[in-house]
Amino acid sequence: MSEQKLLGKRAIVTGGATGIGFGIAERFIAEGARVIITDIDAAGGVSAAAKLGANCQFMHHDVSLAEEWQPVFALAEEAFSGLDILVNVAGVTHMGTIEEMSVETWDKTMAINLRSCFLGCQGAIKLMKNRGGGAIINMASVSAFRPQAELVAYNASKAGVDMMTKSVALHCARSGYDIRVNSINPGVIQTDMLKKVISQVEDGEALMDSYKAMHPIGRIGEPKDIAAMALYLVGEEASFITGASFTVDGALMNN
């Protein structure tokens, strides 16, 4: 068996009950890490933690609320005596054009997708900066660069995640914290979130077919595709990589 790449590492993965978050937690644990997964879906989170085994703990968590982050970091301190890795995955996709979208839906999208990454980075840096550093990944999207009329809030939120990541990385580098901060831009990935998007439109089957056609590689992605990139970015092989944005999209952006 090959050497475990994250042996002894301590991680938090938000949105870990399903999809990309679950896939990343599963890969990290397989590589020797201990992981706290958080999610707003309490039943799903408990079930996911049971599947992931003894090296996983679950905490119910609304990532958009500042007051709900402190207990998560407190658990990392109590259970792990610190933190090496944070992966901000939790997110939401609400369909709507500029004319259709309500202010409430816009604000909810920004809170879940963008504010959560701000809060997570802020808390993780506090834990990591005087304890040997660490690695943070923020989950952006190809939608940070590829506008769609019906994704006005999602486009804006993910573009914000991408640029905020670069700002945070620059701050950490200049401060000498040895905390690397990068973002991943997935293409369309087979997740529960995708199912929710499909359910918001009249002809979900046609939308899914269009998503598949967008990817020249011939398929949409799977959580394991993103987990492989996350593993690389938090590992020693990526020790000189920070403030970067990694697209994992089956050539969607080139299509």
Catalytic residue among 154, 177, 211, 232: 154
211 catalytically annotated: no
At position 110, the amino acid (one-letter code) is M
For residue 25, what are the contacts with CB-CB under 8 A and spacing of at least 6?
11, 13, 16, 35, 37, 48, 52, 56
Distance (Å, whole) CA 221 – CA 236: 25
3-state secondary structure 1-70: CCCCCCCCCEEEEECCCCHHHHHHHHHHHHCCCEEEEEECCHHHHHHHHHHHCCCEEEEECCCCCHHHHH
Distance (Å, whole) CA 56 – CA 77: 15
Active-site positions read 154
